[in-house]
Structure 1
Amino acid sequence: MPFPSLQLILVDNCPNLRKLPFNAESAKSLKAIVGDPDWWDKLEWDDEATKLAFTTKFNQLYSHSQEDD
């Protein structure tokens, strides 16, 4: 699905979200995807091109409990 104006995706505490409704073209306007690395590692991708396009946009979400450690 194309989302030409989408710039940021924040995923927090959504372990059942396994697939994003995007293709490699959808990553062009996107600046960042923020989420838990464990969630990111479990995502399912239609193809490697899409995975690669979005991997460069991924940033780890930090929780307050992680900052306190």
Structure 2
Amino acid sequence: MLEAARRGMRIVLLVATAGEASKSVKRLGVTPQEMASMRKKEMQECADLLGIGLASEGGCIVEASYPAPIH
């Protein structure tokens, strides 16, 4: 994926939910909203590690591009 992004290809990361319905909610003792926030942070960190950066974070689609946009 990183090589494709470096070549200028558009990378789109699609997730079904923000994680609010995770089975981990009860085990971790957090609210669905807190879980969604945690998952969004994890998604950002993953995108940063891949060097693709998040260009959008709306709904369930997270678009990424290279080089990573400056926030």
User: TM-score under structure 1 normalisation?
Assistant: 0.28
Structure (1 or 2) with the larger CA radius of gyration = 2
User: TM-score under structure 2 normalisation?
Assistant: 0.28
In terms of fraction of residues, the more helix-rich structure is: 2
